[in-house]
Amino acid sequence: MNTPKKYPLAALLGAALSAFFLLVSPASAATWSLSGDLNCHDPAIIKEGSTWWIGRTWGAGIGIDWSSNGTTWNTGIPIFQSGLSWWTAYNGNSTWTWAPSFADYNGKTLCYYAVSTFGSKTSAIGLATATSIATGDWADQGAIITSSSSTSYNAIDPCFTLDASGNPWLSFGSWSDGLHVVALSPTTFKPTGASYNIAYNSQGIENSQIVYRSGYYYLFASVGTCCNGASSTYHIVVGRSTSITGPYYDQSGVDMMNGGGTTVFAGGGRYIAPGGESILDTGNDTWICAYHQLDSANNYATVLFINDLYWVDGWPSFSTTPTYYKFGNRTTGLDIDGLGQTANGSTCGQWSSSTSTNQQWEMVPSGTYVRLKNRATGLFLDGMGLTTNGSNAGQWSSSTSTNQQWLEVFTGGYVRFQNRATGLFLDGMGRTTNGSALGQWQSNVNYNQQWSQQPQ
């Protein structure tokens, strides 16, 4: 499908949104209380010194808002508000720009943005550079990526990121064949080679952002339709990878190239269809997410929101509550079950699926490994240092032993767990009796080692 996002004028320029809003934080999440000019679609948040800035989709250049405290927002002067001559080849004499991205990098402030003709792949990603946003001395660097009916991708929704070594990259794309990422020159800030296709979703996927944290690259994106009033289905999803070029898997082990993506936030109530997310580390591993939602009480106009973003068991969340998982064996259907055992060294078992907390496990990150903590007993799944094929998997109170560390190996929507200490994999052993022991075996392609992973 080639249809990119659309921006109804009513949603972006509603008169009510030019007034001053006050958004009060709900009890369920740390949503910031915002006021001022909150008319915003596709926010891009950054902080320079003590001043917060947001770039946004806008009808006259690249929209800018600013704040001295991050909560009270003022309308700024748009970048290139009269438009640039080269834009007309892509947006038909329009001054509209879409989904900007800001970065302070290598002595420059960078602003990536898109111009496009709605309903087509006639699009371009532009670059502007400045000393800082505050100085406003923007220099046009022209189009750096373009697309047309003959390209597989659509050149919109750019987002700058750095890999673990500090090298610059740009993710981009929308609908069509999904999301891409491409390496950038550290001096020209423009692409240096071919892009990598990293995500696809038949519902439509756009507005990507990649952030690096604790050994993983996290790919955030908006899935669904953004701007169809009450029928809008936008929601924010995430997957992660040990490589910036993917593959990116969600919490259930589904590749984002195959439609995967764990929902971070789906909205509900008065405000719906969250998306256009912008993720920022404000320092000391304190993260926030800026995004827009549609106000069902105001003609579905777009409104700015900012939430604290927590990291729970190695995954981003608007809540600090852990997510628990059930693991079902692909061969037998039995779930991994702690069996209510509380003694160190007790055997971990298997049981037919139930709502028992004995079958619910918290995935506690340990670098690029995970530790599996039973919800009912608090014991951790432990390889017990056993190296013989067919040995039982055990349980033990929390420790730093590598016997409790497991590597997730994804296989076609299922996950295999390899013990860090011994190299053996968790194995259902083909057992079908409730209460049977969970085993371990060296790596093979048997379905006994493959587990479905379902959040509870």
Which tens digits make up the pLDDT trace of 373-397? 999 999 999 999 999 999 999 999 9
What confidence tier does 233 reach under pLDDT thresholds 50, 70, 90? Answer: very high
Q: What is the pLDDT of residue 44?
A: 99
Which tens digits make up the pLDDT trace of 409-438? 988 889 999 999 999 999 999 999 999 999
Give the 3-state secondary structure of the chain.
CCCCCCCCHHHHHCHHHHCCEEECCCCCCCECCEEECCECCCCEEEEECCEEEEEECECCCEEEEEECCCCEEEECCCECCCCCHHHHHHHCCCCCEEEEEEEEECCEEEEEEEEECCCCCCEEEEEEEECCCCCCCCEEEEEEEEECCCCCCCCCCCEEEECCCCCEEEEECCCCCCEEEEEECCCCCCECCCCEEEECCCCCEEEEEEEEECCEEEEEEEECCCCCHHHCCCEEEEEEECCCCCCCECCCCCEHHHCCCEEEECEECCEEEEEEEEEEECCCCCEEEEEEEEECCCCCEEEEEEEEEEEECCEEECCCCCCEEEEEECCCCCEEECCCCCCCCCECEEECCCCCHHHCEEEEEECCEEEEEECCCCCEEECCCCCCCCCECEEECCCCCHHHCEEEEEECCEEEEEECCCCCEEECCCCCCCCCECEEECCCCCHHHCEEEEEC
Return the higher-pLDDT residue of 7 and 83. Answer: 83
Q: What is the pLDDT of residue 365?
A: 87
Q: What is the pLDDT of residue 55?
A: 98
Which tens digits make up the pLDDT trace of 295-341? 999 999 999 999 999 999 999 999 888 889 999 999 999 999 999 99
% the chain with pLDDT above 70 = 94
Q: What is the pLDDT of residue 8?
A: 44
12 pLDDT higher than 80: no
Average pLDDT over the chain, rounded to an integer: 93
Q: What is the pLDDT of residue 1?
A: 36
All domains of the chain in start order, with CATH = 9-317 (2.115.10.20), 324-455 (2.80.10.50)
Q: What is the pLDDT of residue 30?
A: 87
What confidence tier does 368 reach under pLDDT thresholds 50, 70, 90? Answer: confident
Q: Among residues 42, 250, 337, 362, which one is catalytic?
A: 42
Which tens digits make up the pLDDT trace of 280-289? 999 999 999 9
258 pLDDT higher than 90: yes
What confidence tier does 109 reach under pLDDT thresholds 50, 70, 90? Answer: very high
15 pLDDT higher than 80: no
Q: Among residues 37, 65, 206, 308, which one is catalytic?
A: 206
42 is catalytic: yes
Q: Which of 2-11, 366-375, 383-392 has the highest mean pLDDT?
A: 383-392
193 pLDDT higher than 90: yes
Question: 92-96, 176-180, 292-296, 382-386: which has the minimum mean pLDDT?
Answer: 92-96
90 pLDDT higher than 80: yes
Q: What is the pLDDT of residue 5?
A: 58
Q: What is the pLDDT of residue 455?
A: 86
7 pLDDT higher than 60: no
